[in-house]
Amino acid sequence: MKILVIDDDHTLRTSLRGFLEDCGRDVVLAEHGAEGLKLLGEDPEIGIVLVDLNMPVLDGYGFISSARKLRPHLPIIVLSGVGVLDDAIEAIRLGAWDFISKPVMNLDVLLHSLDSALEKATLIEENKRYQDHLEELVRIRTQQLEKANERVVHCLGKAAEFRDNDTGHHVVRTGEISVILATALDMGPDFTRLIRLAAPMHDVGKISIPDSILLKPGPLDDAQWEIMKRHTVYGCEMLHFDTKVENGGCTLSLLEVLAGQDDLISMAQRIALCHHERWDGRGYPNGLGGGDIPVEARIVSLVDVFDALGSARSYKKALPQELCRRKILEARGTYFEPAVVDAFERHYAEVVDVRARLTD
């Protein structure tokens, strides 16, 4: 570690260097603050500074202020004979660690000040390394937890899909295509990261629907259809861990509580509950319309319908891809938000690529 001595008095500079080098210290010299700042920026081995206050070009006050921005924890000891008390107070206020008045009659005082400053600097550096280490451990652990959550979420979504599709690729495609549309709508990286994970859980409530209804090869009667529509509420309730809502359950009150909560489970609940709502207000379970439908549900609604139309099930055949596309465009402003349909159309080639890569 080097000691930087900044003083416009050539005799004092050289005398201090000789004394400190005799004491086994490595010393570099500067004759004013500007030169000292230049050396400080160029030489990372400089670990402590002795600086005069009254100097040409850039005085000690200016050096201390600039050095603090460059190296916030750099030990700086002021060595000056001007003003003494008032100048010492000002120097300490600017960030100096100690003040020694000139002329220095006892050089042991200087060595003591240097040793104390170096000891303090060492403790600060060790504490910083410790804090950095803790932050890195927290970062790694957080990543591990996020990966574990992603796997659980992915498996939960696929568990629902396996009820009526033996590959589970629909839920994966739903997440990937939702990301394409969210990106096209400038929803931001945090939103797109969450919707990739949350979208696959849109139909998790189907786990609660009886096979006699879910896998029925023909049309559902009115009573069966009412049960089928409940998968939206069931899915939301499956994800409803500790949200406090009066009377419980996935109601519009819960939707108000979830509004603005930017976490995975909250988004998944909103999607599960609202992905069958329609832009014109004629969807289910709550008949929401327009901007009252959470934007993530507006996105997943289109993606779910498009992918389901083109996917074979035990009770239906897959439609040709171009026909699926036309049906989405025809539903602009009724089933689906116009802006989401427009994003779908602009990025249709990317959507098709996802279906090709993740085919059943």
Put the strands of the sheet holding 2-6 in their side by side order.
Answer: 26-30, 2-6, 46-51, 76-80, 98-101
* Cβ-contact 196, 178 below 8 angstroms: yes
CATH superfamily of 2-130: Response regulator (3.40.50.2300)
Q: For 317, which DSSP code?
A: P
Please confirm, yes or no, whether 206 is among the known catalytic residues.
Answer: yes
> Is the pLDDT score of 135 beyond 80?
yes
> Alpha-carbon distance 311 to 268, whole Å?
23
The confidence score (pLDDT) of residue 119 equals: 84
pLDDT value of position 305: 96
pLDDT for 292: 95
Classify domain 162-357 at the CATH superfamily level.
Hypothetical protein af1432 (1.10.3210.10)
Q: What is the DSSP letter of 206?
A: G
Using 50, 70 and 90 to split pLDDT, how confident is the model at 158? low
Kindly tell me the number of DSSP H helices and DSSP E strands found in the chain: 16, 5
Reported confidence tier of residue 340, pLDDT bands at 50, 70, 90: very high
Q: Where is pLDDT greater, at 73 or 106?
A: 73
Residue type, 152: V
**Cα dihedral: 269, 273, 277, 279 (round 10):** -20
Which is the catalytic residue, given 2, 206, 216, 316?
206
pLDDT, tens only, 206-236: 888 998 998 888 889 999 999 999 999 998 9
Confidence band of 245 (pLDDT split at 50, 70, 90): very low
What is the average pLDDT score of the chain?
87
Task: Give the start-to-end residue ranges of the domains of the chain.
Answer: 2-130, 162-357
**Mean pLDDT, residues 67-96:** 83
pLDDT tops 50 at residue 244: no
pTM metric for this prediction = 0.62
Q: Which of 40-54, 155-169, 307-321, 327-341 has the lowest mean pLDDT?
A: 155-169
Indicate the pLDDT class of residue 359, thresholds 50, 70 and 90.
confident
**Average pLDDT of the segment spanning 74-81:** 86
The least confident of 8-12, 57-61, 142-146, 171-175 is 142-146
**CA atoms within 13 Å, Cβ hemisphere of 331:** 22
Give yes or no for residue 83 having a pLDDT over 70: no
Q: For 101-117, what is the mean pLDDT?
A: 81
Band (246; pLDDT cuts 50, 70, 90)? very low
Question: At residue 38, does pLDDT exceed 90?
Answer: yes
